Amino acid sequence: MTLAIGIRLGPYDILAQIGAGGEALPACERSVALSRVPNIVAFLGNAYARMGRTDDAKALLRELEDRQRRGEYMPPFAPLCIHVGLGDVEGVRSALEACIADQTPPLSIQVSCGPWLDQFRGDPRIDRALDRLYDGARPR
pLDDT at residue 6 in the model: 37
pLDDT digits (tens, 9 = 90+) for 50-88: 889 999 999 999 999 999 999 999 999 999 999 999 999
pLDDT at residue 21 in the model: 52
Low-confidence ranges of the chain (pLDDT < 70): 1-22, 137, 139-140
pLDDT at residue 27 in the model: 83
pLDDT at residue 127 in the model: 94
pLDDT at residue 19 in the model: 55
Nearest to 63 by CA among 48, 78, 85: 78
Helix axes 54-69, 38-50, angle to 10 degrees: 160
pLDDT at residue 7 in the model: 35
pLDDT at residue 24 in the model: 73
